């Protein structure tokens, strides 16, 4: 039996109107929009490749940080689809991929460091 290897993508959602979108943004909406983008840009073949391992592990709407688990071979497809994402529902967004890691622990540590930097910047 072969172990499925995964990559964890730490991303940040940048909102022009952060206060309006905070209530509407959640992990399920992001995954739904991401799946639509994958199917739009890479077709059913790309969606079929990515669908089995595409899982939202963490999302914080206050900071806009999230972690997604993807298969190791499909990481570039998901990165491209996230980069090309311009809207969630009707709200304009910009997705910034902050880190790609092989373990969820390192992604969480980096997310915590980013949150601390933003907190001390205030």
- The class level of CATH for 6-121 reads alpha beta
Alpha-carbon distance of 46 to 97, in angstroms, equals: 20
**Which is higher by pLDDT, 122 or 8?**
8
The 3-state secondary structure of the chain, one letter per residue: CCCCCEEEEEEEEECCCHHHHHCCCCHHHHHHHHHHHHHHHHHHHHHHHHHCCCEEEEEECCCCEEEEEEEHHHHHHHHHHHHCCCEECCEECEEEEEEEECCHHHHHHHHHHHHHHHHHHC
Confidence of residue 21 (pLDDT cuts 50, 70, 90): low
The mean of the pLDDT values for the chain is 88
Residue 22 has pLDDT above 60, yes or no: no
Q: How is the chain split into domains, by residue range?
A: 6-121
Distances (CA, A) of 13 to 5, 56, 85: 26, 14, 10
Residue 8 has pLDDT above 90, yes or no: yes
Write the pLDDT tens digit of every residue in 39-96.
999 999 999 998 889 999 999 888 889 999 999 999 999 999 999 999 888 888 899 9
Tokens of 23: 């209530």
């Amino acid at each position: 039996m072969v172990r499925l290897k995964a990559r964890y993508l730490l991303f940040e959602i940048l909102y022009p109107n952060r206060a309006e979108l905070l209530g509407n943004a959640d992990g399920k909406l992001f995954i739904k929009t991401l799946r639509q983008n994958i199917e739009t840009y890479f077709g059913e073949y790309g969606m079929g490749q990515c669908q089995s391992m595409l899982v939202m592990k963490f999302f914080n709407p206050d900071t806009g940080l999230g972690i997604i688990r993807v298969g190791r071979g499909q990481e570039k497809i998901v990165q491209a689809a996230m980069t090309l994402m311009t809207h969630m529902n009707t709200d304009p967004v910009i997705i910034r991929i902050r880190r790609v890691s092989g373990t969820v622990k390192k992604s969480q540590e980096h997310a915590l460091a980013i949150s601390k930097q933003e907190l001390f910047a205030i």
